[in-house]
Structure 1
Amino acid sequence: MDLNTVVEIRDARLPAPWRPGDAWLGGGTYLFSEPQPRLRRLVDLSRTGWTPVRAHPDGSLEIAATCTIAQLSRYGKGLTAQAAPLFEQCCRAFLASFKVWNMATVGGNLCNALPAGPMILLTAALDGECLLLAQDGVRRRVRVADFVTGAGRKDLGEGELLRSVTLPARALGCRTAFRQASLYGLGRSGVLVIGALDPVDHSMTLTITASTLRPVRLWFPLPPGAADLRAALRSAVADDEWFDDIHGLPAWRRHMTFRLAEEIRRELGRETR
């Protein structure tokens, strides 16, 4: 779609004051998908040259906001970490063509903050931390699970930029289980759930998106029993926090979340009574 209110595209490598009507341009797959009447200028990140995925000496991975889904998929296929399968599983959770894969970015998926965002699920489940850069140069770090605060809402100030997301080595070493549900074979995700079992202390996390307005991440010191898991889910997600749109009613999303969470509990943990 043409954005006929935009009168200028600025290279992000050339500093300039932020002004009303500005927006960051990454892949643009969402930005150009519908009218953006408030926009006057786009600040283009495509030529920043940021390394898509960088492995640090401590074993952590830093994913640039400009990393495309296609680049993340290719990197994940060569990753030897225990949690490596999650990369491709979450990339495949997109309702998108190969053309979108080659343009859509990890940062864009997080900043859109849509409940069905699979990059939100991936990075929240692996205890990711966002690096945010303000216009005055101030840097701050926010956990992905806290960065997305609701459907379309995120902890991002005016002109603030999501630079990257870092996944810690310990999370990458977890054994994981992935579940997805949709009303249709090729439909948008209505429920996304990831479980992760820590090999060090045997604690378990369960992360939910798509069925809820925001990512929900539960931590258990040991794999819980079925009753404890259900109680934790009921406590973590209020009745009005189940998402409601054409891709699934709240009651269906809640039911499927509980069902898939139980499947993951059985897969990752031993049966307890």
Structure 2
Amino acid sequence: MIETPGARTELKPWQSGDAWLAGGTWLFSEPQPHLRRLVDLCAMDWPALVVSEHGLEIAATCTIAELDAAVLPNTWIAARLIGQCCRALWASFKVWNTATVGGNICLSLPAGSMTSLMAALDGVGTVWLPNGTDRRIPIIDLVTGPNSNALRPNEVLRRIDIPAAALIRRSAFRQISLTRHGRSGALLIGTRPSCGGGFTLTITASIIRPMRLNFRHPPDAAGLAAAIDRNIAPGSWFSDMHGRPDWRRHVTLLLAEEIRRELAPAAVS
């Protein structure tokens, strides 16, 4: 059974066997015999994108294609990360036009590049609670592990807000896969304020959950490598057919150093 509520007030009480439906690219990709009812969130017709002086509001049901096609202010120089992260999915145009930003985040795969994008740009999710109230949670904290997140079964990710302050930063992007069109083995994003200051490195895909390292001042090569090893426990490197933990650590350190060099002032290079 598929239900199509037109508003939040039309959502029925959650039952065992229910699932939220957005794009459905994963949900329909394999049998789901335990499910009895799908609740189609797209029926609520949320605006895909809202641009304001405060930043960018992205509906959970916004498709990858809609996000990639967004026309944003020229001053938002970090917005180039949107296209880079969309293409890191290595999906066909059919998937791009169906898969949603919220679905990619809620699936909570280590290689989910929408999680990478939102975590790097200080994205904050608004979550609908069943009692009619909301809670807000940074996307960096929403994904807690492979296919694991902080959402309860009856909670809905309504939207993600990216502040304008994050969109005016300088940025650097690096991604690597074992094969040309394979799933990301490591995806790293570095950002720095345009006027100088600190340095932030977001690490995803190579570890079991997103991690962001914040530096008050740009580190040197040794300091960055030490911070990565200090903050990522040996058991936190992800392992599957798309990459072994030792390889993922190795390429993470290499890509992190490339990002550091790209964004660092000459005096620290």
Same fold (TM over 0.5): yes
Instruction: Tell me which of 17, 22, 26 is aligned to 1:26.
Output: 22
Aligned to 1:9: 2
Report the alpha carbon displacement of residue 158 of structure 1 after superposing the two structures with TM.
2.1
Which ranges of 4 or more aligned residues in structure 1 deviate by more than 3 Å? none
Question: How many Å separate the matches in 1 of 2:218 and 2:59?
Answer: 33
1:172 aligns with 2:167: yes
Aligned to 1:56: 52
> Counterpart of 1:138 in structure 2: which amino acid?
T
1:226 aligns with 2:217: no
Question: How many Å separate the matches in 2 of 1:272 and 1:101?
Answer: 40
Question: How many Å separate the matches in 1 of 2:207 and 2:155?
Answer: 25
Report the alpha carbon displacement of residue 12 of structure 1 after superposing the two structures with TM.
2.7
Instruction: Tell me which of 102, 108, 112 is aligned to 1:107.
Output: 102
What are the equivalent positions in structure 2 for 1:110-125 lying under 5 Å apart? Answer: 110-125=105-120
Task: Extract unaligned runs of 5+ from structure 2.
Answer: none
The worse-fitting range, judged by mean Cα deviation, of 10-19 and 234-243 is 10-19
Report the alpha carbon displacement of residue 56 of structure 1 after superposing the two structures with TM.
2.5
* TM-score computed with the length of structure 1 as normaliser: 0.94
Deviation string 1:109-134 (CA, Å, 9 cap, x unpaired) is 00000000000000000011010001
What are the equivalent positions in structure 2 for 1:74-153 lying under 5 Å apart? Answer: 74-75=69-70, 78-80=72-74, 81-153=76-148
Question: How many Å separate the matches in 1 of 2:48 and 2:197?
Answer: 31
Aligned to 2:67: 72
Aligned to 2:31: 35
- Say which SS state the counterpart of residue 44 (structure 2) adopts: coil
Aligned to 1:212: 207
Instruction: Tell me which of 227, 237, 241 is aligned to 1:242.
Output: 237
- Say which SS state the counterpart of residue 108 (structure 1) adopts: helix
Report the alpha carbon displacement of residue 79 of structure 1 after superposing the two structures with TM.
4.3
Question: How many Å separate the matches in 1 of 2:133 and 2:72?
Answer: 35
- Say which SS state the counterpart of residue 16 (structure 1) adopts: coil
Contact kept? 2:53, 2:164, Cα under 8 Å = no
Question: How many Å separate the matches in 2 of 1:34 and 1:95?
Answer: 19
Report the alpha carbon displacement of residue 15 of structure 1 after superposing the two structures with TM.
2.6
> Counterpart of 1:70 in structure 2: which amino acid?
A
> Counterpart of 2:49 in structure 1: which amino acid?
V
The worse-fitting range, judged by mean Cα deviation, of 19-28 and 46-55 is 46-55
> Counterpart of 1:156 in structure 2: which amino acid?
L
Instruction: Tell me which of 173, 181, 189 is aligned to 1:186.
Output: 181
Count of residue correspondences? 264
Aligned to 2:151: 156
- Say which SS state the counterpart of residue 175 (structure 2) adopts: strand
> Counterpart of 2:37 in structure 1: which amino acid?
R
Output the aligned Cα RMSD.
1.2
* TM-score computed with the length of structure 2 as normaliser: 0.95
Contact kept? 2:51, 2:72, Cα under 8 Å = no
